[in-house]
Amino acid sequence: MSVLPGLNRQTSITVIAAGRLGSSIAGAMLKAGYSVAAVSNRRADRREWLSVNLARHHSGPVITEKAQTAADLATVVFITGPDSAIEEICAGIKWRDDQAVLHCAGVLPVSALDSALAHGASTGGFHPLQTFPSPESSDRLKDVSFAIEADNSDLLHWLKVLATNLGGSPVEIESGQRAAYHASAVMACGLVAGLVGLAAEMWEPLGVDRAEALKRLIPLIRSTVDSLDEQGLPLAITGPFVRGDVDTVESHLETTNRISPEMGRAYAALALASLHIAREQGGLSDENFERIKSLLSPAIQR
């Protein structure tokens, strides 16, 4: 049974397997006044970076190769390695019953930390809904949502406070909800980037390559994101589906399918899946809603 001591900003913290995400979180916690005692990474070049950018500019966390060494120095331990490695990393450490062990994965259930639970430690999850292009991305945590989960009410409260002190906001989830939460994140991030890539490739018949097309699309994309932020849904949706412009939709389907069957199916599938949101604006009549649906549904099967 866990005998987790009182948790506060002075509680000793370790970040294990600190890559881009872990290094960024460690840096953010140090800037917020938390006591990061140690950070580990097996790669010498990563440890050198951590020594230069964390240990020399803050209160001096120990930078170590050994996960066990780092874990021994802290009450709260964040395992920030790849999802596929977290369970193995956790199982390779001898835990204490006065520790809390957390992973920062999106979809992985907290049960991946059961080997720590078996030693009496508390377990949980702390996932920032953000991308980390470099290990110096601690400034990206402002206004970010943190998906938090814990088997201990004191630990859950501490994670809520941590998320707030890092400039974000906490949202409680359960392990059974993680797949839906993470799929939403992928749709809003990686798949949006993929969709923009497809849109850019549609310029190739115009003699414009994908890189140049992307530059030309970026202002439109920024405007769309601004509208989502300022007006929300459904008002941020524009185009023929909002207006009920059946002829335009039909023309788009013919053109995208001519470029490639995959392009046509992608256009039709996305349009059909989001048609109900466009309808919420009130400009799409029931008749045109059904007509557009009848165009889109078979296009997905082509």
Q: CA angle, corner 193, sides to 192 and 197, nearest 5?
A: 115
Question: CA-to-CA distance for 169 and 21, rounded, in angstroms?
Answer: 17
From the CB of residue 79, how many other CB atoms can be counted at a distance below 10 Å?
Answer: 27
Whole-Å CA distances, 14 to 70, 109, 174, 231, 277: 6, 21, 24, 41, 44
Question: pTM score, two decimals?
Answer: 0.90
Nearest to 65 by CA among 97, 42, 37: 42
Whole-Å CA distances, 59 to 53, 161, 225: 12, 21, 39
| β-strand partners of 146 | 128, 170
pLDDT tens for the chain, 302 residues long, are: 566 878 999 999 999 999 999 999 999 999 999 999 999 999 999 899 888 888 766 667 999 999 999 999 999 999 999 999 999 999 999 999 999 999 999 999 999 999 999 999 999 999 999 999 888 888 899 999 999 999 999 999 999 999 999 999 999 999 999 999 999 999 999 999 999 999 999 999 999 999 999 999 999 999 999 999 999 999 999 999 999 999 999 999 999 999 999 999 999 999 999 999 999 999 999 999 999 999 999 988 87
Question: CA-to-CA distance for 69 and 42, rounded, in angstroms?
Answer: 12
Q: CATH for 12-175, among 3.40.50.720, 3.30.465.10, 3.40.50.10330, 3.30.390.10?
A: 3.40.50.720
Q: What does DSSP assign to residue 55?
A: I
| β-strand partners of 169 | 145
- Give residue 32's region: left, alpha or beta (phi > 0; psi -120 to 50): alpha
Residues in contact with 206: Cβ distance below 8 Å, sequence separation at least 6, in sequence order? none
Q: 17, 44 in Cβ contact below 8 A? A: no
